[in-house]
């Protein structure tokens, strides 16, 4: 095979197929590989005079077709499949070749793979890709981490295919080792939190304001024109008026969807690792918990019959929409603050050397959590790269002050009317705790010392103390 290809991609499912077509659209020749002949044939059919695309079910043919150093991206399910694909590739690779894992691999797996491949002088990248199938085709946000020198070979392709925000590509080298996969993991954790919050506000508007689906659409659409502008608010507005193709009833499609959410684990990983690092992320934690609670549908249905609920009070629609917009804005800020706090701590713990302003920049377009708010976040971290938390940024103090009281009012209303608002509640609790000089944890320290001699510190003297309690 005389003509060699610029870029190789393994895994021609929906994401892989769209990504490789995006590469070809931007003038790079691309060769795909999949064990499924139908997927290979479908991609080959896309080739024309303007797009140099080919594919094969043979891993040997695939590797032989690529220019050196080979740039090979994997878009396959995380876990053992990634290791299996790497093992099948190794006999056909040379020193200096580059493997890029574009899936949602757990960051410690990426560190292990990079270490193993370094022994063979093969570069390994973990590159989170966000934006779904449409983003993969038209421009995703890409979060690569690995060898900085090897990134120079990938950079032209990634910058060409990535989403653009005011002309800037939404991709940047983030750091060594598993920095890219880690940032994508936290991105997904924030995504869990934002999705939970948008669903709670929807529930509140329906129950306390009797909003119709059309009114919900109009409200969310209006919000998307303002400071809540974001991909998730935009698609939510569209979901409210989606008709049911099965035509089983006159209800919209949303009203026929079972309230039983699934998850692939990245939100849980964020929550677990944040706990390991000692960084609180309660808005993300509760979003994971709520998906777990939603899975208990039969138990919830049975329990509902055992307890009475208060009759829901009604709030004027105009007032409720105003409170809801302010509360959602407040809780969005808090959720981003928690996720970025984890990234800052992980950067120190794992040696990633992350620049939070750069991460916020590449999230401004293409990815699922893209939002107008990220422009303000970028500015805040450009002004102060060592900012410990978004909540103490001068850029955000007034924004939070102007919206927190609406969150208080709605959390109290939800509690009184038995409308669960756990994401909003946890965002408020986090804010109140983080902004409190004095917390009642002095009592916990006294208790720990009482029953376990765990010692405590004092306000009036330096040192560590223990008391023989009576």
From the number of C-beta atoms within 10 Å of its C-beta (0-12, 13-18, 19+), residue 183 rates as buried
Comparing C-alpha atoms, which of 438, 468, 442 is closest to residue 453?
Answer: 468
Q: Which two tokens stand for residue 101?
A: 């894992």
Let me know if 191 is a catalytic residue.
yes
For residues 445 and 438, is the Cβ–Cβ distance under 8 A?
no
Of 39, 71, 184, 361, the catalytic one is 184
- For residue 69, cis peptide bond before it (omega within 30 degrees of 0): yes
Q: Which residues of 308-324 are buried (b: 16+ CB within 10 A; e: fewer)?
A: eeeebeebeeeebbebb
Residue 392 has a CB neighbour count (10 Å cut-off) of 14
Among residues 71, 114, 177, 191, which one is catalytic?
191
- Residue 11's SS3 state is coil
Helices 231-239 and 179-209 cross at an angle (nearest 10°) of 40
Q: How far apart are CA 213 and CA 10, in angstroms?
A: 42
- Strands 30-33 and 168-169 come out as unpaired
Antiparallel, parallel or unpaired: β 7-10 and 30-33: parallel
Q: Which residues are the active-site residues?
A: 184, 191
């Amino acid at each position: 095979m005389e003509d060699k290809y610029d870029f190789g991609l393994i895994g021609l499912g929906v994401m892989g197929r769209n990504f490789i077509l995006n590469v070809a659209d931007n003038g790079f020749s691309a060769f795909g590989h999949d064990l499924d002949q139908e997927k290979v044939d479908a991609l080959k059919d896309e080739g024309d005079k303007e797009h140099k695309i080919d594919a094969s079910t043979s891993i040997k043919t695939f590797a032989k077709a690529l220019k050196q150093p080979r740039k090979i991206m994997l878009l396959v399910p995380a876990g053992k499949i990634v290791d299996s694909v790497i093992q099948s590739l190794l006999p056909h690779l040379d020193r200096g070749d580059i493997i890029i894992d574009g899936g949602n691999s757990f960051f410690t797996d990426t560190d292990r793979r990079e270490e193993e491949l370094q022994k063979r002088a093969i570069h390994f990248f973990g590159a989170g890709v966000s934006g779904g199938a449409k983003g993969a085709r038209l421009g995703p946000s890409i979060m690569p981490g690995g060898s900085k020198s090897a990134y120079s070979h990938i950079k032209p392709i990634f910058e060409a295919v990535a989403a653009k925000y005011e002309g800037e590509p939404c991709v940047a080298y983030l750091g060594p080792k598993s920095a890219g996969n880690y940032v994508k993991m936290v991105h997904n954790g924030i995504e869990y939190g934002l999705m939970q919050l948008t669903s709670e506000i929807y529930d509140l508007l329906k129950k306390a304001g009797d909003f119709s689906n059309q009114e919900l659409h109009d409200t969310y659409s209006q919000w998307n024109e303002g400071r809540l502008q974001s991909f998730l608010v935009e698609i939510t507005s569209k979901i409210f008026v989606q008709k049911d193709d099965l035509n089983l009833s006159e209800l919209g499609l949303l009203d026929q969807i079972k309230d039983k959410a699934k998850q692939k684990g990245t939100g849980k990983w964020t929550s677990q690792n944040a706990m390991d690092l000692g960084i609180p992320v309660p808005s993300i934690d509760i979003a994971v918990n709520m998906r777990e609670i939603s899975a208990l549908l039969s138990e919830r249905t049975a329990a509902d019959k055992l307890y009475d609920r208060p009759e829901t009070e009604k709030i004027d629609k105009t007032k409720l929409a105003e409170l809801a917009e302010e509360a959602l804005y407040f809780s969005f800020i808090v959720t981003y603050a928690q996720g970025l706090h984890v990234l800052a701590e992980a950067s120190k713990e794992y040696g990633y050397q992350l620049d939070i302003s750069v991460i916020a920049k590449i999230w401004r377009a293409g990815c699922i959590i893209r939002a107008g708010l990220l422009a303000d976040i970028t500015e805040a971290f450009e002004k102060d790269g060592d900012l410990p938390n978004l909540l103490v940024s001068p850029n955000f103090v007034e924004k939070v002050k102007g919206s927190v009281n609406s969150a208080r009012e709605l959390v109290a209303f939800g509690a009184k009317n038995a409308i669960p608002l756990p994401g909003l509640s946890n965002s408020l609790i986090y804010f109140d705790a983080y902004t409190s000089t004095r917390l009642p944890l002095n009592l916990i320290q006294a208790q720990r010392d009482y029953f376990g001699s765990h010692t405590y510190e004092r306000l009036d003297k330096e040192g560590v103390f223990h008391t023989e309690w009576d």
